[in-house]
Amino acid sequence: MLTDVVLEPLGGQEATRAVIILHGLGDNGQGIMGLGEMMRMAMPNTVFLAPNAPFPCPYVPGGYQWFSSEDWTPHIILQGAQKAAAPLNEYIDHILETRKLAPSQVALVGFSQGTMMSLYVAPRRAEALAGVLGYSGALIGGTSLAQEKKSAPPVLLIHGTSDEVVPFKAMNNALEGLKAAGIEASAMACPGLGHTVDNDGLRQGVAFLKRVLG
């Protein structure tokens, strides 16, 4: 089971929904939980959970990765995502069971490599999650998505136009791939922004999560 960092609802409220945040390459659950802390005030009855990816990142002490960044050949990346999907699905199932939540009460938020995993896993789950919010990511396995899709949670992609790590064009490619597979998807470009999340992206992301989680 993936280890995680948990931010319980404000004021001791019972969680009626959950947001699972997936970190990027070389980061960890603690590092990405800053997003949850910023979203928490607007979503007080939500539990935020940030699992550590299953594999240590060899060049970042204390960091993890969903798959290796040593070879970006598409089929190698796809194999990496497929391998990481099993422990991630196990973790999502565990949260659903232990928190007594329906899939429609759980959303995924990803950053960079975490977005790639969110977009790969969510549509291939039998029951639709509430939605996927993806920052600065890309679509893996897009050519087979229409055939492998089992559900169609709504997606919002947010990406900086000056991203120096994952090129901005990855957002439009992902948008086209998701729509071609019959998934409701929208996107927001952040002019001049690099590989990070700004206040506008945070506000739009929170509005999306509140809409899909009800």
* pLDDT tens series, the chain, 214 aa: 999 999 999 888 889 999 999 999 999 999 999 999 999 999 999 999 999 999 999 999 999 999 998 888 889 999 999 999 999 999 999 999 999 999 999 999 999 999 999 999 999 999 999 999 999 999 999 999 999 999 999 999 999 999 999 999 999 999 999 999 999 999 999 999 999 999 999 999 999 999 999 8
Give the Å distances, CA to CA, from 49 to 8, 9, 72, 179: 8, 11, 28, 28
Q: Tell me what pLDDT residue 201 has.
A: 98
What is the Cα–Cα distance from 63 to 67, expressed in whole angstroms? 12
Q: Tell me what pLDDT residue 174 has.
A: 98
Q: Tell me what pLDDT residue 12 has.
A: 85
Q: Tell me what pLDDT residue 11 has.
A: 83
The whole-angstrom distance between residue 47's C-alpha and the CA centroid of its chain comes to 15
pTM value > 0.95: yes
Q: Tell me what pLDDT residue 70 has.
A: 84
